[in-house]
Amino acid sequence: MLLKEIVVVDDCKEWRRIVCSILQTRPELRIIAEATDGAEAVQNAEELQPDLVLLDIGLPRLNGINAAEQIFEVSPASRILFLSGINDPDVMQVALRSGASGYVCKHNAGTELLPAVLAALDGSPTMSDEVVSSGVFESLFQRDRSAVSEVADPEKTARQAEQSEGIQSRL
The pLDDT tens digits for 71-107 are 999 999 999 999 999 888 888 888 888 999 999 999 9
The pLDDT score that the predictor gives to residue 139 is 53
16 compared with 144, residue with greater pLDDT: 16
By C-alpha distance, which of 99, 170, 89, 78 is closest to 128?
89
Q: What is the model's pTM?
A: 0.78
More confident position, 38 or 153 = 38
Question: How far from the centroid of its chain's Cα atoms is residue 1's Cα?
Answer: 26
pLDDT of residue 170: 52
Decide if pLDDT at 8 tops 80. Answer: yes
Q: Percent of the chain having pLDDT more than 70?
A: 74
Whether the per-residue pLDDT at 127 is higher than 70: the answer is yes
**Residue type at 51 in one-letter notation:** D
Give the type of residue at 102: G
Instruction: Please count the CA atoms within 13 angstroms of the CA of 30 that sit on its side-chain side.
Output: 10
**Average predicted confidence (pLDDT) for the chain:** 82
**Segment 13-31 mean pLDDT:** 96
